[in-house]
Structure 1
Amino acid sequence: MENQTAIQEAVQQMKDYGFKYTKKRETIISYLAKTDRYVAAKELHDFLTKKYAGISYDTIYRNLRDFVNIGILEDTELEGEMKFRFNCSLQGADHHHHHFICSVCGKTKELTTCPMEFFQDQLPGCTIEDHRFEIYGRCKECQSAV
């Protein structure tokens, strides 16, 4: 799916959940859709203050958390800091997958193998309601930069 279509879909989803449309919110969504990696709130704040002088870090972080809660964004913790990326399902990923995440630059690579069958076998009588599986390391580019 083209980025612009995915951005429009995410903005509509935001409205459907009762959030007011603002250009700032669309800019947050657009930035994350175009970077296609995990991004720290600080990076987003640095970018947004160039366009919207005086925008607070708290406002940006609150919007990021809200967007995670309604499924527009995904989050992960890298080295003690929360980072955010555009949700894969809004970019046309129509299959279950997990990610390798570069701990340096935040780029992701899709993993199509899911380890859940292994775990389900070890949990007889239990129902798994959700799961998340991420592998952290350094991507090829960040390894060669060392």
Structure 2
Amino acid sequence: MSNSIDWENFLKEKGIRVTRQRIAILGVLDNSSKPVSARGIFDELAAKYPGIRLSTIYRNLNHFTAKNMVKMMELNIEKKESYYELKNRGHHHHMICLECGEILPLECPLKNYLLELSSETGYKIIDHRVKLYGLCPACSKEEG
């Protein structure tokens, strides 16, 4: 999806009632180059939608996840916060800084390996996930 998507029609096609908040949440996810937390979405929308609540963000993200529009990922770092991104971003992985939580999307380098593995074993590989944990350049400098 691009910034020019008609979110209203997209929601209608998915059988979801159209609201300004839902369109705004999808817009934040669409405009982000990396996964975003519910708190991050809330912080971005709070000024434009003063009445919006964090619970509204979570409820809609859960609904979008159930409708297979958004995927949720847990980073397994100290913050224990879930992050969300649109499903249409194509297959990719993430590099995550253990210090600041910065997330860097990465293209999947395993395509050829998975084809070979599937051919050798006879397995039909349905999915795989890779998360790399380390320190981003800024946090590495602070530690060193």
TM-score (norm 1): 0.70
- 2:108 maps to a residue whose letter is T
Provide the identity percentage: 27
Assess, with a 3 A threshold, how the Cα gap between structure 1 residues 145 and 52 changes in structure 2: closer, same or farther. farther
Residue aligning to 2:96? 102
> Who is 1:57 aligned against?
54
Q: Could you tell me whether the CA contact under 8 Å between 1:10 and 1:29 is conserved in 2?
A: yes
Given that residues 37 and 106 in structure 1 are in contact (C-alpha distance below 8 angstroms), is that contact kept between their aligned partners in structure 2?
Answer: no
More contact order relative to length (CA 8 Å, sep ≥ 6):
1
Whole-Å separation in 1 of the counterparts to 2:102 and 2:63 = 21
Partner of 1:84: 84
Contact 2:94–2:106 under 8 Å retained in 1: yes
Q: Distance in 1 between matches of 2:82 and 2:93?
A: 16
Q: Distance in 2 between matches of 1:16 and 1:98?
A: 26
State the superposition RMSD in angstroms: 3.0
Structure 1 gaps of 5+ residues are none
- The 1:54/1:71 distance shift into structure 2, 3 A limit, reads same
**Alpha-carbon offset, residue 142 of structure 1:** 4.9
Aligned residue pairs total 136
Q: In the alignment, residue 112 of structure 1 is paired with which amino acid? A: C
Whole-Å separation in 2 of the counterparts to 1:44 and 1:137: 25
CA deviation profile, 1:69-101 (whole Å, cap 9, x unmatched) = 3333222112221111233x35xx4xxx32123
Unaligned runs of 5+ in 2: none
What SS does the aligned partner of 1:113 have? coil
1:70 aligns with 2:64: no
